[in-house]
Amino acid sequence: MKLTTTTTTTLVLLFLLVASSSLQVSMAGSAFCDSKCQVRCSKASRHDDCLRYCGVCCTKCHCVPSGTAGNKDECPCYRDMTTGTGDHKRPKCP
């Protein structure tokens, strides 16, 4: 089967269109994480930062502790995620 230049170009463009659509979907937050993080960060003084880190943690751990603070034992993965190493190690998830 011999593909013409037009057919090959069309297939490449179609592939790029499908690939870019799936990339946008995978970068968007899930409804579960978005709603849980909205509650978790509702009283945070740095709301945008809280939402960003909560979203990262939720995506990785598939859970967010209840309430606006504390309760991290409900989700050990979320509780144990940290930034940095050694003396600079701090909790990552709000």
Domain count, the chain: 1
16-73 pLDDT, tens digit per residue, is 555 544 433 333 468 999 999 999 999 999 999 999 999 999 999 999 999 999 999 9
Query: Strand (E) positions, the chain?
Result: 82-83, 90-91
**What is residue 61's predicted lDDT score, i.e. its pLDDT?**
95
- Residue 2 inside a domain? The answer is no
- Residue 15 inside a domain? The answer is no
- Residue 87 inside a domain? The answer is yes
- Residue 51 inside a domain? The answer is yes
- Residue 24 inside a domain? The answer is no
> Which residue, 43, 70, 34, 22, is CA-closest to 93?
70
- 8-17, 52-61, 68-77, 81-90: which has the minimum mean pLDDT? 8-17
Q: Which residue has the higher pLDDT, 48 or 88?
A: 48
Q: Which residue has the higher pLDDT, 3 or 64?
A: 64
C-beta separation of 70 from 91 below 8 A? no
> Which residue, 42, 84, 85, is CA-closest to 64?
42
User: Hey, what are 80's tokens?
Assistant: 């144990």
- Residue 20 inside a domain? The answer is no
- Residue 52 inside a domain? The answer is yes
- Residue 54 inside a domain? The answer is yes
Q: Supply the range of the domain harboring residue 65.
A: 31-91
**What is residue 41's predicted lDDT score, i.e. its pLDDT?**
97
